[in-house]
């Protein structure tokens, strides 16, 4: 069932000083649907506009249920600490253990979504309560990644017994826009910290480079407050002047995720420059200023 809008509901908590702390967000499903396999030979029909998202097995067909959540309504600058997928049971028949999955979604219901079992959340789960909460560390990581891309996250569920051909088994979750208990993501988040300062900005602790053996370089720099990790950035020295200095064209990360203020790297060929940047959940720190102004680099890590 397509909805006009999918917004994040901000729940405010009050700290000891009385100031509001925005740390819990509820994102309802923007798209919820089921996908039908008539003849049990391949999914062939998207079902929208029903009261429920459902998984069904029968002698002549099977159905899987799905929902997708738009994360673009969340405010910028969040570090997501936990995610709960919350579903409300509408009805079920017999023994109905189910398998649940998450996936990177696009906000559009289509037949291919019936096979989106990218990230298993729970296997053979017996649904016996009216409300179901699913949590998984990998779900938190997926939501953080898709949030950074202003994207969608999807949920798919199927009955564990879906390949059986006898009887009728059905499990349904509420998906009616008139019912507040729609599928939702409950997201706990904290504001992202500011990016760390420039690494080795003082003359007393510069970036040092030395030979570490044949074809290897040893790098050492100042341990910088606020850094969760470091990245080494390199580029062709000859490209600096004609392209305006260190920028996203001339420079790119060579190594990322370095935990200490030192590293050994293969010696680059030719004449190159080497910079080190700090990184935390708030982003990549500055690289200092050159003759052409603030230095920058491509942010994609290898």
Answer positive or negative: Cα dihedral of 81, 142, 150, 288.
positive
d(Cα 229, Cα 141) in Å, to the nearest integer?
18
Nearest to 189, CA basis, from 5, 6, 11: 11
Nearest to 8, CA basis, from 22, 23, 27, 29: 27
Contact 190, 79 (CB under 8 A): yes
- 105 and 64 part of one domain: yes
pLDDT at 177 (0 to 100): 65
Q: Is residue 202 part of a domain?
A: no
pLDDT at 295 (0 to 100): 92
- 38 and 150 part of one domain: yes
d(Cα 119, Cα 154) in Å, to the nearest integer?
10
Give the total number of structural domains in the chain. Answer: 2
pLDDT at 175 (0 to 100): 84
- 222 and 102 part of one domain: no
- 167 and 22 part of one domain: yes
Q: Is residue 301 part of a domain?
A: no
Which of residues 135, 156, 191 is at a domain's end?
191
0.85 surpassed by pTM: no
CATH number of the domain where residue 50 is located: 2.60.120
- 157 and 216 part of one domain: no
- 75 and 147 part of one domain: yes
pLDDT at 93 (0 to 100): 83
- 112 and 149 part of one domain: yes
- 169 and 93 part of one domain: yes
268: number of Cβ within 10 Å: 14
d(Cα 135, Cα 29) in Å, to the nearest integer?
17
Print the domain residue range for 218.
208-294
Q: Is residue 177 part of a domain?
A: yes
- 150 and 270 part of one domain: no
Supply φ then ψ for residue 142, to 5 degrees. Answer: -65, -45
pLDDT along the chain (302 residues), means of 10: 36 36 84 95 93 93 96 92 94 88 97 96 92 95 94 97 88 81 92 91 86 94 94 92 86 94 93 93 89 85 82
- DSSP-assigned beta bridge partners for residue 152: 70, 105
């Amino acid at each position: 069932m397509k909805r006009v809008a999918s917004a994040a509901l901000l729940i405010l908590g009050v700290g000891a000083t009385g100031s509001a702390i925005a740390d819990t967000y509820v994102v309802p499903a923007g798209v919820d649907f089921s996908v039908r396999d008539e003849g049990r030979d391949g999914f062939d029909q998207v079902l929208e506009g029903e009261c429920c998202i459902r998984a069904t097995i029968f002698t002549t067909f099977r159905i899987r249920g799905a929902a997708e959540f738009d994360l673009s309504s969340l405010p910028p600058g969040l570090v997501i600490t936990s995610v709960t997928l919350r579903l409300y049971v509408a009805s079920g028949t017999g023994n109905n253990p189910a398998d649940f999955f998450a996936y990177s979604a696009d906000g559009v219901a289509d037949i291919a979504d019936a096979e989106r079992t990218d990230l298993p959340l729970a296997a053979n789960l017996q649904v016996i309560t009216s409300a179901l909460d699913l949590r998984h560390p990998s779900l938190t990581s997926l939501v953080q990644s898709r949030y950074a891309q202003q994207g969608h996250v999807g949920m798919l569920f199927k009955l564990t017994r879906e390949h059986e051909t006898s009887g009728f088994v059905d499990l349904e979750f509420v998906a009616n826009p008139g019912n507040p208990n729609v599928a939702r993501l409950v997201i706990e988040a904290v504001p992202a910290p500011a990016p760390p300062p420039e690494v080795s900005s003082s003359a007393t602790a510069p970036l040092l480079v030395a030979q570490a053996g044949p074809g290897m370089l040893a790098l050492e720099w100042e341990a910088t407050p606020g850094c969760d990790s470091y990245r080494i950035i390199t580029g062709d020295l000859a490209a600096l002047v004609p392209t305006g200095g260190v920028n996203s064209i001339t420079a790119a990360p060579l190594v990322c995720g370095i935990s200490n203020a030192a590293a050994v790297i293969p010696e680059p060929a030719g004449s190159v420059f080497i910079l080190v940047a700090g990184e935390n959940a708030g982003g990549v720190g500055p690289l200092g200023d050159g003759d052409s102004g603030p230095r920058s680099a491509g942010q994609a890590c290898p």
